Amino acid sequence: MHSHTLLETDTLHDTTAHHASRSVAVIGGSAAGFFTANLLAKRGLPVRVIERIESLEPAERTLIVTHRMRSLLGRTADGCILNEIRRFELFTDGRAATVPLKHPDLIIERRKLIQGLAAEAGQSGAKIELGTRFHSVHPNGRGLVVEIERCAGGGREELHADVVVGGDGAASRVARSTGWAPLKTVPLMQAIVPLPKDMSPDTVRVWFVPQDTPYFYWLIPESSTRGALGVIGESGPETKRSLELFLQKRKLDALDFQGARIPVYSRWVPVQRRLGNGSVYLVGDAAAQVKVSTVGGIVTGLRGALGVAEAILTGGPSRELRSLRRELNFHLLLRRSMHHFQQSDYSHLVDLLNASARQSLSEHDRDEAWKILWRVCVQQPKLVLLGLRGLLMNRPSRRAAE
């Protein structure tokens, strides 16, 4: 990844030396926060990570990411990979299409990913403070005063930072307390289930059921015996009910449930604000760095972290953030075009995924979606018409996708 390489080149050394005395408080010790902390600490900046949970045992979640995670994280990625996916099967109304992937997608375990990133940040010199809740931030003559609260009855404390990075998720308190607008969120729920006997562990299944959700259901195998069956909805109770009914229909018993609200990307969220003599940045879910077509936020959150680290170190614009913005906007276009698809549109879509379109989908990984669209346009103009119809239908009620 060119920007990753940029961060590691010696040409940045002088600029970094210029910033070396700037202290950084990263709020939120999860994927985006720890990755930012590691990149900055590795460059010699004094970094503290403020995380409210008391031990490094964040909620378990089975996630699917593109192979790009490997190039972003290198060996750190290895510790959290459970399985590799080589094809997608798409179902709607009795129809099916198979999409092979050129580069396998990865099934990962969130807790292990976070633990690996925390260990790396610690080795690079970041100070990790668990059981500590961010409360507020305000400027003083020297920089920023960060007010924190020790969770185990330790009371409030103030600490100094020149830069605050909010990696504190969809309901980011850093963003709210420094003037960013709240983000719209949607519920995402998954059930851990025994893998159905007719299912191969290298294949993900996706079902489009527009009467239940404008998004989709999925089943991702984490091993040859278990998988995560999930759905994205619009309201919490309805999403839970849809998931339960879907499980019943497929005669699957949930072994466990995982869920949380995730932000809906509706426009680019500027990642930086000046506060007196200091700066505040947002990374990951806090900045809605989530692909709104598939609601995946790990790789895009890591890219956001990389871009913000680049911006802090160089004091200038970041190429990674520019490219991330293009990617997120493209996924927004896809979501807006599909958000009001009816059953007949999905049936048409699956029918249209003929051999040539499938090939063009599999020649890229899922994160390079703009290239996919270009190839599909060239080979399947009808798909584009379908998308345009969705966009036009969406126009009067655009807010539905926001």
Ligand X SMILES: Cc1cc2nc3c(=O)[nH]c(=O)nc-3n(C[C@H](O)[C@H](O)[C@H](O)COP(=O)(O)OP(=O)(O)OC[C@H]3O[C@@H](n4cnc5c(N)ncnc54)[C@H](O)[C@@H]3O)c2cc1C
Catalog residues that contact ligand X under the rule CB under 6 A.
27-33, 50-53, 58, 61, 63-65, 133-134, 167-169, 173, 188, 190, 258-260, 262, 284-285, 290, 296-299, 301
Residue with Cβ nearer ligand X (31 or 73): 31
Provide the minimum distance between the beta carbon of 224 and ligand X in the complex, in angstroms, as a whole number: 19
Cβ closest to ligand X, residue 12 vs residue 84? 84
**Rounded Cα distance, 254 and 108, in Å:** 19
Question: CB of residue 38 vs ligand X: minimum separation in angstroms?
Answer: 13
Nearest one of 119, 110, 125, 109 to 47, comparing CA atoms: 125
CB of 94 to ligand X, least distance (A): 26
In terms of Cα–Cα distance, which of 361, 214, 360 is closest to 295?
Answer: 214
C-beta closer to ligand X: residue 174 or 386:
174
CA distance 69 to 16: 25
Least Å distance between CB 160 and ligand X? Answer: 17
DSSP 291: B
Closest approach, Cβ 392 to ligand X, in A, equals: 30
Nearer to ligand X, 85 or 386 (CB): 85
Closest CB to ligand X among 109 and 168?
168
Nearer to ligand X, 65 or 195 (CB): 65
Minimum CB separation of residue 296 from ligand X in Å reads 3
Please identify, using beta-carbon distances, which residue of 117 and 357 lies nearer to ligand X.
117
Distance CA 262, CA 170 (A): 6
How is residue 254 written in tokens? 């949930």
Burial 37-76 (b: 16+ CB within 10 A, else e): bbbbbbbbbbbbbbbbbeeeebeebbbbbbbbbbebbeeb
Calpha distance 124→343 (Å, rounded): 51
| CA 236/CA 260 separation, integer angstroms | 9
Q: Which is nearer to ligand X, 97 or 290 (CB)?
A: 290
Strands 81-92 and 95-109 turn out to be antiparallel
- For residue 333, give Cα distances in angstroms to 109, 206, 292, 303, 382: 29, 20, 9, 20, 17
3-state secondary structure of 177: helix
Q: How far is the CB of 253 from ligand X (least distance, A)?
A: 18
Report in angstroms how near the CB of residue 172 gets to ligand X at its nearest: 7
Task: Confirm if 261 and 170 have CB atoms less than 8 A apart.
Answer: yes
Q: Is 44 strand, coil or helix? A: coil
- Closer by beta carbon to ligand X, 132 or else 394: 132
**Between β-strands 278-282 and 256-263, what pairing exists: parallel, antiparallel or unpaired?**
unpaired
Q: Which position has the token pair 């940040």?
A: 121
Shortest Cβ 315–ligand X spacing (Å): 24
